[in-house]
Amino acid sequence: MSLVLLPGLLSCAGQPRTAAPAPPPAGQVDPIAALLPRTTPAPMTPGTDPRPAPTATAKPSRHHLERMGFSTQVGAFSNLDNAVRLERALDAKGIDAYYFRHESGLYKVRFGNHKSYRAARKEAETLRRLGLIGRFFIVIPEDYAAARIRRSGKGNLRNELVRTARRFLGVPYRWGGEDRKRGFDCSGLTMVCYRLNGLNLPRNSRMQYRAGRAVGRRQLHKGDLVFFATHGGKRVTHVGIYAGGDKFIHAPRTGKTVRYASLSNAYWRKAYVGARSYL
């Protein structure tokens, strides 16, 4: 994945498209913004962005998710606890942040979903001045797998979603999302897998269940989400990502590691509520 880098930070994946110099002095042109596609030049007024909102953030249809816009990525931690602390510090400030395991094995944190590069950078620079983050870079909409595959016609987004989920296998995924009070970290895992690939999946399992298109058990495909009522009845309390072969990947509960499970297992078969697709 090619990413627009700010100085000195390790790339998220692959080689950076363009290495950026240090932030320019006040009054000079932003060197990164200058690299991004623009419409016909027009005088800029305070508080405006000369570029239109990218198609990556267009409103979704009934069963399709909004595409991710401009986000900020920080950190390259070998210790999971450091990423967790940063995510929770940002969350305490009202910042929609999430940590993830990069394919390198390092843990990183992303936050924000803006319609413009300028807005994402402004938020990140404010947080840096407050001492909450250090070096950062901006992830642009075109860098997500969903956008790359749509643009090139090559690749399979469903496979990418499962490949992302596999990075978390064996990790004690301590998500701090809305399902935390019930002891489940499940919806944070599925949300992160989708967002890292460019699709803005809602935070908690019930919202995820409502957002998707219903699919039958026999029509499941990789990347679909499977939902369970782990407390009995039909109230959704748990979710995993279908990985093919009757298997799904999920975070069982706080402190447990992310793992595979089988839909044919007696417990999961009894708790199964249904499945949803977003593609």
3-class secondary structure, 191? helix
Give the residue among 29, 30, 6, 28 at the shortest CA–CA distance from 17. Answer: 6
Amino acid identity of 209? Y
Dihedral of CA atoms 265, 270, 271, 275 in degrees, nearest 10, equals: 80
**DSSP H helical ranges for 20-100:** 80-92
Pairwise CA distance, residues 214 & 251, whole Å: 22
Q: Which residues of 90-106 are buried (b: 16+ CB within 10 A; e: fewer)?
A: beeeebebbbbbbeeeb
> What b/e string do you get for 153-181 counting C-beta neighbours within 10 Å, with b at 16 or more?
eeeebbebbbbbbbbbeebebbbbbbbee
- The catalytic position among 12, 114, 186, 193 is 186
Edge-to-edge strand ranges of the sheet holding 238-244: 213-215, 272-277, 225-228, 238-244, 247-250, 259-262
- Cα–Cα distance, 252 to 271 (Å, whole number): 13
186 is catalytic: yes
Reduced to 3 DSSP states, what percent helix, strand and coil does the chain have, rounded to the nearest 5?
30, 25, 50
Query: Is the separation of the CB atoms in 6 and 138 below 8 Å?
Result: yes
Dig out the tokens for 29 from the structure: 């042109």
**CA–CA distance from 182 to each of 2, 87, 117, 177, 197 (Å)?**
38, 20, 37, 10, 27
Which one is catalytic: 12, 102, 114, 250?
250
Catalytic residue positions? 186, 238, 250
